[in-house]
Amino acid sequence: MDNKRFILALALSFAVFVGWQMLFPQPAPKSNAPVQEQAVQQAQGEAPAPINPLAGENGEQGTPSPQDFVPTAGKDIHVETPLFRATFNTSGGVLERFVLRNYHEGIEAGSKQVDLIGAKSVSKGPLGVIIRRRGSENHTWLNGKWAYEGAEQISIGEGEKHVLVFKGRAAGFELERRLTIHSDSYLITEALTMVNLEERGTEAGVAFTAAAKSMTAEDNQYNPTRIAWLVNDGRSEEDDRETLQEEGVSAAGGLKWGAIESNYFIMSIVPNNPDASLFASVQNGIFRMAVDQSDTFQPGMSKTLETSYYLGPADRGLLASMPNDLDQAVNFGWFDPLAKPMLMALVFFNQYVNNYGMAIIILTIIIKVIFWPLSQKSYKSMDKMKQLQPMIQKLREKYGDDKQRLNQETMALYKTYKVNPASGCLPMLVQIPVFFGLYKALLGAIELRHAPFIEYLPGTDIVWLADLSAKDPLYITPIIMGATMFLQQKMTPSTGDPTQQKIMMFMPLVFTFLFLQFPAGLVVYWLMNNVLSIGQQWLITSKSSKKKAA
């Protein structure tokens, strides 16, 4: 195998890998199961109308029987815990704000804390309830009557919990929503008790909803806001906004959770019903999601439906303690089995150096040490190939027009000097999955969000690598990275034809341009890896020169 061609193929593969992800994100499979189920239900008679968050907010209000129920005007209930500040509206118990106290939008002093909801999302009913029966769809926060008794300012101290109780009437049901909030968790659990106030039994669909503003810029290729879900067949996601706006996504078949998420934050619904289904879409820039389940309600009988909501950081440690395998919301694709252990190592090193930039450098050194013998073998093979270049060039001049004869003579030359051209490539093949795993990990780790490395350019007050999840604002690291890559190319034996050599010398420029927009943490890793590779390559070349001199 021609080493130069392999390196060129590897470089181009990386460029294609990144470019393809940016331009053509893999579409998630869409389930038609909910539509099929609804068709069967409608054929049988009374059936809930399908939930479609793209539809209007209209719905029929059921006629409640006269009982002791006094609705109150909607007002805000403010809840504060050590982790977040939340504002609920008593009209349906919808969530108007959910502010994460430990996370800010930017690194600037006075930057706002992250609000997962956003003002424009409130009308879409985040944490609302939709009831479907006999072809009508009732958005209870709009068409129901609600009452609330309790304090309007609630502070939950460490180790405590509080239960918000919202009582209402909608779609012929008496409703009681009990939302339990814990001081030390981002998980909110709900018990919804429903009583059928009509004189006959009925089948009804009940959907718990979520709505959130886009968590990232629409053109953010490395960190898109997306819809993700987990069913019995596995995890899926969709981040193409055009698809979400025009078609939406649906899923059924053992739905464990659905989520609106970015690399760093997540708003999820975790049903306590294996028959629940999901529908999600984007409407006017707002991400919407409904997790629906159907049940039969006899007259005067009450039933309690349970679900949970997680609103908070995409922290793997926190998600691991959540129900229904919610930790799978953080997923690095094919390289997930490699990415997560390396992130664990990164967190471990940071505990001692208290700087994720240094932790990245330490991890890079350790990976380099682990693969040192393989790299050593590869570089030695390249050095042997370099020594044969004059003879290979003569063969090209002699048999340039006869490719078959040229290949035969070249292989005979390798055999005579006991050089295996593939020995320089195979060690590098083993390292490729590790590299891409670390690439995916550094691209999506919440630990690197707003984590500083070198906050100010040395000797100045100019902000530099103050956020490893953002690009280098001065473009210093990607330019140095490109220079080290160019130096590597100069040190690597030139085994290809002149055209290949020109393409290879052009690759550092391509990669520099590509890395200008990469998160600084990833550029630091690649730069450090290049420096170590140059050092290793220099050592081998130096030893080889000494042997020749002797």
Tell me the mean pLDDT in the region 219-226. Answer: 89
DSSP summary character for residue 338: H
pLDDT digits (tens, 9 = 90+) for 68-103: 455 667 899 999 999 999 999 999 999 999 999 999
Q: Exposed, middle or buried, 479 (CB in 10 Å: 0-12/13-18/19+)? A: middle
User: Between these two residues, 241 and 491, which has the higher pLDDT value?
Assistant: 241
pLDDT digits (tens, 9 = 90+) for 390-447: 887 788 777 777 788 888 888 888 788 777 766 656 666 777 788 788 888 888 889 9
Evaluate whether 264 touches 292 at the Cβ level (below 8 Å): no
User: pTM of the entire structure?
Assistant: 0.81
Tell me the mean pLDDT in the region 517-525. Answer: 91
Which residue's structure tokens are 């800010």? Answer: 104
Q: Band of the pLDDT at 375, cuts 50, 70, 90? A: confident
Q: How confident is the model at residue 495, as a pLDDT?
A: 55
Q: Band of the pLDDT at 41, cuts 50, 70, 90? A: very low
pLDDT digits (tens, 9 = 90+) for 294-347: 999 999 889 999 999 999 999 999 999 999 999 999 998 888 899 999 999 999
How many residues make up the chain in this entry? 550
Q: How confident is the model at residue 129, as a pLDDT?
A: 96
Q: What angle do CA 406, 412, 415 make, to 5 degrees?
A: 145
Q: What angle do CA 455, 457, 460 make, to 5 degrees?
A: 110
Q: Band of the pLDDT at 496, cuts 50, 70, 90? A: low
Please list the residues that pair with 145 across neighbouring strands: 169
Burial 265-283, CB ≥16 within 10 A → b, else e: bbbbbbbebeebbbbbbbe
Q: Which domains does the chain have, with CATH numbers?
A: 3-19+343-549 (no CATH), 31-62+72-331 (2.70.98.90)
Q: How confident is the model at residue 418, as a pLDDT?
A: 74
Q: How confident is the model at residue 72, as a pLDDT?
A: 63
Residue 542 has pLDDT above 70, yes or no: yes
Q: Exposed, middle or buried, 544 (CB in 10 Å: 0-12/13-18/19+)? A: middle
- Quickly list DSSP for 449-474: TT--SEEE-TTS--EEES-TTS--TT
Q: How confident is the model at residue 34, as a pLDDT?
A: 38
Evaluate whether 336 touches 323 at the Cβ level (below 8 Å): no
